[in-house]
Structure 1
Amino acid sequence: MGSDIVAHRISIGLFYCKISSGCVKTVIKHTVSFNDVLFEICVNLEKCKLWILSKYKSYSDIAIVSFYMLLYSLLLICGDIESNPGPGGTPDPPEKTLSIFHGNIRSLRNKLNYITDLIEDFDIVFFTESHLDVNVPDLDISLFGFETPVRKDRNANGGGIIMYYKSLINIIRRVDLEHDEVESMWFELKTKLRSILININYRSERQSSVCFWQYFDMMLKRALDENNSILCLGDLNKNFMSDISSNIRDVIFINGLINIIDKPTHFDTRTGNTSLLDPILVTDSIAVVDKDTIPIDRGISDHDGTYVTINCGFTSSRTYKRKIWDYKNGDFDLMNQKVLRTNWEHLISDADNINVACTNFTNSLLGIASECIPTREVVVRCDDKIWYNSNLRREMRKRDRFRKLFLRLKSSLAELKFKQQRNKVNNMKKQAKKTLLR
C-alpha cells in the first residue's frame, strides 16, 4: 500500500467506515488522514482490552483477539481486498499462429450448443446463412469464450453473416472496403508484425454469378491498394472442383489469389453429389501452416466447415506460473503461536510513517504464513476450460504431433492417424463437459 494509493483513497473519500466490537463503536470519516485512521484503530484496541479482560483470563487470549481486531480493522478500511489476486507483471503472450474457421450453418439460433463444441479451438469464426434479424439480440447468440459477435443480417428466412472472435484478437470491421450489392464483410486483423485483411462472403444461388464476381473484383482491388495480405472465405455457390469460367479464373489470378481447399464442402443428400462451394482464397504473402475441412453433422448443415491456420505473428495461448498457498496442509496451531509471540502494536507504533507501518505489518504476517503454510507453484493456462484435465491435454498434444507429422509427410496413413486422434479428442471434450454438468 504505497503513498500514492493512500493519497488516492483519501482523495476519493474511501476512509468512511464503522468499527464496532462489543462495547466500542467508532465512526471514522473521510475527512481524516490515514495516520489518524490508524491512530483511532490503536486507541480502540486499548479500549477493547478492557472489555476483553472481562471476558478472558489469560494474556494469550487477549493478544490473539487484539491481533484479529487489528487485522479486521485494516481489512475494513482497505476497501479493495482481492480474494484471488493475480500475479503482477504477467508478460504479454508470444505471438505465433492464428486459426480461422468458416461454416455455412443454415440458421444459427437453434444450433448454439453444437457450435460451441465445434469452434472452441479456433480464434476467429465465421458463419454464413445465419438467418438472423433485429429481433434476435446479441446476448441470445453469444458463445462462451468469444466476444460479442459482429453481424450482417439479411432476415430470419435466409442469408446473413456473423463473426465471432476471442478476446486477445485485435480485429476491426472495415466497412469502407465493402460493397452494398454483395453480402460480404471485411475485417482488418492487426498483430505486432503486420496487418491482414480478412473477407467473408455469401453468394446466394439467386444472385447473378457475373455480377457477384465483378463486385468481388472491385472489392479486392480496393483492398490490395493498401494491403497485399488478404484472406477470403465464405460460401460462393460455385464448384471449385470443376472447371470454372474464365472470368472467375481471371479475377482470382489477376488479384494474386489461390484456393487452398481441395476437398468437397457441400453434400447434396438428394442426389449424392459433392462439390467445393466454400473455398479459402489467400494471397501468396499469407503463410499457411495448416488447412482442412471439418465434418459437420448432416442434421446441422449440408456443408462441412473449412479452416486455415496461418503464421501471422499471433497466438491466443498464454501461460504463467503462480505461487499458491496450500491451506489444507497448513500448521495453524504453530501459526497461532507465532501470532501470539508477535508484538503487532509495536510494529505499527514504532514506525516513522504509515508506509513503513504497513510494510512491517505485511512482512511480518507473510513471514509467519510462509513458515506455517506450504506453497507450491502451478502453471495457469488462460485458455483452459474448467472441464480440462491432464488426460485431455495429453491427448491434445498427441493430436498436434500427428498433425505436424501429416503436414510433413502428406501421406494417407499420417492423415488417417491425425483425423482419428482429432475425433478422439473431440469425443473426450464432450464427455468431460457432460461429467462436469452431472
Structure 2
Amino acid sequence: MKTKAPSLRLLLTNAFSIYNKVDELQHTLKSLHVDIAVVTETKLSPDKASVAEVSIPGYYPPIRRDRTAQGGGVAIWLKEGMAYKQLDINSECETLWISVAAPSGMKFGICAAYRPGTSADSDCSIFTQLESDIDKARQSCSHIIVAGDFNAHNREWLGSPRTSAAGEAADDMCCVHGLRQHVTSATRGENILDLVMSDVPGTVSTTTQPPLGRSDHAVVIADFQLTASVDQPTTRTVWRYQRADWPRLSAFLRTTDWDTIIGDDPNISCELLTMRITEGMQHFIPSKVFKTRLQDPIWWTPECSAAVDRKRNAWRKFRDDPRNGALQCTYKLASLDSTRCLARAKARHLDHVKQRLRTGSLQDRE
C-alpha cells in the first residue's frame, strides 16, 4: 500500500474583524481540513474577546497579538496535537512568530504579519524588521513561512497595476532570504495583497476561497507537500587563494603532459583535467574544510560557523565554571566576535544581492 506523503495546509485571510466570524472560520477550518490558520486584522482586544469566545474545538486557543488601539491585530489557530511554541521575537510591527514541528521532521518558523492599508507606499519598516526576524527564527527552525496582508504592490512580481517601494522591499526580502511567493490569484479586487512566502522545498500550491463574512479579502489556502527532512551536515572546502604558492603551482602545471590528458573522448578528458588541476590546488593552495547544514541562512559562511562554534565552546566552559572571571571574559569576547562576524557576512550578501538587483542580473525565480 502506497503511503501518502505528509502535507501541511495553511489558511490565510484578512478577516476585517474575526470577532463575529469565529463560527464561519470554524466551519471553514473543519471542512477544508486546515492545520494552521493565519488571520490578519482580527480587531481583537482582551476586553472585547475572551479566550473562550474565539476558541475553536479541535484547535488550540488562538495565539494572538492584539492592538492596544482599535483595528489591526494578528492571530494564529493551530490544530490540536501539533507541537509548537511561540518564539521570543518581538517587533514594533504587527508580526507574530511560532515554531511548529511537522510529522515529516521539518521544523517551521511561521510568521503572521499585517501591514495596514493606511501605510505609506514608502513605508518598508515591516520588511526591514522581517529581515532580522527571519535570521532569528532560522536559529531554531529549518524552514520559514511568512503569511499575511502586506498591502504591497509590484507590477512584475505580483502583477499589480503599479509598483511601490513596499512592493520592491517585499520582493527584495524574498530574494535575499531564498523565499518564494506562492499566491497567484487576486485576494482583494484585482490585487494580490495577501502573501504566503516560504523556503519550504517541494510542491506548494494555493487556491482562493470566498471571504469570511463581509470581509473583502479572499481566503487563501496553501498546501505544502512535505518530504522527510534530515538535516545532515555536509562539508565545504574553502580555498585560501591569497596564500597560494602560485609559482610552484604554475611549475606543476607546466610539467604536465597534456597530450596524455586531452584525448578524443571529451568526458574522460574533462575528468582527467579536473583531477590534475585539483591535485595541484591541494599541493599548493591552503584550504580548510567546514561543516555546513541545510538550515544555515543563504548568507552563512564558513567563518560564521567557526565564530559560532567558538562562542558555543566558550559558553560551555563558562557554564561549567561560572565563577571563573577569565572564562566569562573569553565567552563575552567570543559572543561579540560571533555577532560581528554574522553581521558582516549578512551585510556583504545584502550588498551583493542589491548590486545584482540594480544591474538586473538576478535569475528568474519561481
Counterparts of 1:262 and 1:293, CA distance in 2: 9
**Superposition map of 1:209-228 within 5 A:** 209-228=123-142
Contact 1:213–1:248, Cα closer than 8 Å, also in 2: yes
Candidates 24, 43, 59, aligned match of 1:131: 43
The aligned counterpart of 1:302 is: 216
Contact 1:128–1:160, Cα closer than 8 Å, also in 2: yes
TM-score by length of 1: 0.45
106 and 156 in structure 1: CA distance in 2 versus 1, 3 angstrom threshold: farther
| 2:67 aligned partner, one-letter code | R
Q: What's the % identity of the aligned pairs? A: 22
Counterparts of 1:228 and 1:277, CA distance in 2: 26
* Structure 1 residues without counterparts, runs of 5 or longer: 1-92, 268-273, 315-438
Candidates 261, 278, 296, aligned match of 2:183: 261
For residue 288 of structure 1, report the CA deviation from its aligned partner.
Answer: 3.1
Candidates 102, 110, 126, aligned match of 1:198: 110
| 1:174 aligned partner, one-letter code | L
Q: Secondary structure at the match of 2:21?
A: helix
Counterparts of 2:78 and 2:195, CA distance in 1: 20
For residue 155 of structure 1, report the CA deviation from its aligned partner.
Answer: 4.1
Candidates 133, 145, 150, aligned match of 2:58: 145
The aligned counterpart of 1:187 is: 98
Counterparts of 1:236 and 1:291, CA distance in 2: 17
Contact 1:188–1:198, Cα closer than 8 Å, also in 2: yes
For residue 294 of structure 1, report the CA deviation from its aligned partner.
Answer: 1.6
TM-score by length of 2: 0.53
**CA deviation digits over 1:319-373, x for unaligned, max 9?**
xxxxxxxxxxxxxxxxxxxxxxxxxxxxxxxxxxxxxxxxxxxxxxxxxxxxxxx
Counterparts of 1:138 and 1:189, CA distance in 2: 21
Contact 1:263–1:293, Cα closer than 8 Å, also in 2: yes
**Superposition map of 1:90-129 within 5 A:** 96-120=6-30, 121-129=33-41
**Superposition map of 1:374-393 within 5 A:** none
249 and 290 in structure 1: CA distance in 2 versus 1, 3 angstrom threshold: closer
CA-atom RMSD in angstroms: 2.4
For residue 244 of structure 1, report the CA deviation from its aligned partner.
Answer: 5.1
* Structure 2 residues without counterparts, runs of 5 or longer: 229-366
Contact 2:12–2:38, Cα closer than 8 Å, also in 1: yes
94 and 137 in structure 1: CA distance in 2 versus 1, 3 angstrom threshold: farther
Contact 1:288–1:308, Cα closer than 8 Å, also in 2: no
The answer to whether residue 77 in structure 2 is matched with residue 164 in structure 1 is yes
Q: How many residues align?
A: 212
Larger radius of gyration: 1
Counterparts of 2:169 and 2:40, CA distance in 1: 24
**CA deviation digits over 1:107-142, x for unaligned, max 9?**
111112222222212011111111111112100111
Counterparts of 1:313 and 1:153, CA distance in 2: 35
Contact 2:75–2:112, Cα closer than 8 Å, also in 1: no
The aligned counterpart of 2:170 is: 248
Contact 1:129–1:159, Cα closer than 8 Å, also in 2: yes
| 2:81 aligned partner, one-letter code | L
Contact 2:91–2:129, Cα closer than 8 Å, also in 1: no
Candidates 287, 301, 314, aligned match of 2:202: 287
Contact 1:241–1:262, Cα closer than 8 Å, also in 2: no
228 and 105 in structure 1: CA distance in 2 versus 1, 3 angstrom threshold: same
Contact 2:11–2:37, Cα closer than 8 Å, also in 1: yes
| 1:300 aligned partner, one-letter code | R
Counterparts of 2:117 and 2:164, CA distance in 1: 16
Q: Secondary structure at the match of 2:194?
A: coil
Counterparts of 1:247 and 1:236, CA distance in 2: 11
**CA deviation digits over 1:32-80, x for unaligned, max 9?**
xxxxxxxxxxxxxxxxxxxxxxxxxxxxxxxxxxxxxxxxxxxxxxxxx
| Structure 1 residue ranges, 4+ long, deviating more than 6 angstroms after superposition | none
